[in-house]
Amino acid sequence: MIITPSILTADFCELGQTMDEAIEAGIDWIHLDVMDGNWVVNRTITFGPALIRSIRERVGPDIFVDCHLMVTNAEENWNQYVDAGVDLVIFHIEAVKDPVSLIDKLHSRGCQAGAVLNPATPASAILPYLPNLDLVLIMSVVPGKGGQSFMAEMEEKARTFRSAIDSQIDSGGLATKLMIDGGIKAHNAAQVAEWGIEVAVVGSGLINDKGSIAENLAEIHDALSA
């Protein structure tokens, strides 16, 4: 399972050093949470294309960079994030009127397209678009609301997507990746891997004051291999 850090838990004044530390620890995928102060529950504003462009320049072309757009106008400003250098744009299915058009536009720019759904949104909201999606992100917490516990009840949704993706691959279709985000740490990483998750976003479980990114990553890998 790929572990990708969410930089929201990082000290933004030391962000470049954090990126360097993550890459030195073996991280090759960076996850960027973009909040517009409107879509998320706590109305937080995080960062936009300018900072993403700086991150891309810092990490170089060999690191995979995605952005999770927790915004209301992804259909209007998706191109700004592609211009900033992301490899994958993940949009909220609840906030987009025409997913097919947005997926096609992203692919036309050479950018991968992903869709994410809130815990309360059923898998059926995304399944019709699965054949053209490079990634599906399952939220295991409510986006933007801090201090939440991991929602183990997302297992059924994860297994639904895993089965659909496996059937798609068996039929010669796209190998859509399955990602999870929210409350993932060393103690539950193996649990979600067993569900069929291929990519796990880890925030405070990876970037914290208890240990270095390398130490925390090693702990997660140990849990996965136990």
Asked whether 106 and 86 are in contact (CB, 8 A), the reply is: no
Q: Which of 11, 20, 33, 222 is catalytic?
A: 33
Decide if 83 is catalytic. Answer: no
Decide if 28 is catalytic. Answer: no
Pairing assessment for the beta strands 2-5 and 177-181 based on DSSP bridges: unpaired
Rounded to 10 degrees, the C-alpha dihedral 19/95/181/57 comes to -10
Which class for 98: exposed (0-12), middle (13-18), buried (19 or more C-beta within 10 A)?
exposed
- As given in the structure block, the two tokens for residue 188 are 């539950």
> Residue-wise over 112-132: b if at least 16 C-beta within 10 A, else e?
bbbbbbbbebebeebeebbeb
- As given in the structure block, the two tokens for residue 95 are 């906030």
Q: Which of 11, 98, 181, 209 is catalytic?
A: 181
Positions marked active-site: 33, 181
